[in-house]
Amino acid sequence: KQEVTQIPAALSVPEGENLVLNCSFTDSAIYNLQWFRQDPGKGLTSLLLIQSSQREQTSGRLNASLDKSSGRSTLYIAASQPGDSATYLCAPEKLVFGKGTKLTVNP
Amino acid sequence: DGGITQSPKYLFRKEGQNVTLSCEQNLNHDAMYWYRQDPGQGLRLIYYSQIVNDFQKGDIAEGYSVSREKKESFPLTVTSAQKNPTAFYLCASSIGGGPNTEAFFGQGTRLTVV
């Protein structure tokens, strides 16, 4: 059964810092991995979808990488802003999610 | 606007009552999903449907029921058999049920048992 771990569980950084969020999964036989953002009390917003044939996907200041063989994905956020404060979740398949990393970017 | 609409946003239920959460999408997606989220926890899959008139149980289906009579609608009923129903419920859809497709979410319904 697929298990997903996200480290760290919480992260607090000053504005402008570059940061990396980590996602690991136990079953590497996946077709894609999706990163989401969740604001308090809200639904999930899709940030990036990486297909298994890709190694990276970029959207603006966000860059996600996928290493299936090691069961890892990272989400890189460049030049963080207070508006980036949210919980970030990864899902190697639609049916299984990590618990998320709660990010706080301080002005 | 295309998207997924969940209603109501907040729902209060007395113990022993059944309640139904609505999920409607106008994205013409085949697959729809229901998840439950508890504080500090990730999402757990309750039910999913890859096509009209067909659905499968997820990891925590006990105490819940669904129907998929129309492509755009996937209502979730929380029955009195669900022992701890207070949670945040999220509905999602994807263009297909296959593993390569991107999932999109509604804004959620917060259910509280009073």
Q: What is the pLDDT of residues A58-78, one digit of tens each?
A: 999 999 999 999 999 999 999
Residue to substitute from B43, B89, B90, interface A, most A β-carbons within 10 A:
B43
For residue A90, give the chain B residue with the closest CA: B42
Pick A28 or B106 by higher pLDDT.
B106
B18: closest CA among B98, B72, B82? Answer: B82
Residues of chain B contacting A36 with CB distance shorter than 8 Å = 105
Question: Strand, coil or helix: what is A90?
Answer: strand
Task: List, in order, residues 6 or more apart from A74 with CB less than 8 Å away.
Answer: A20, A21, A22, A23, A64, A65
Secondary element (H or E) of residue B46: strand B43-51
Residues of chain B contacting A32 with CB distance shorter than 8 Å = 99-100, 102
Question: Strand, coil or helix: what is B84?
Answer: coil
* Averaged pLDDT for residues A22-34: 91
In this prediction, residue B1 carries a pLDDT of 60
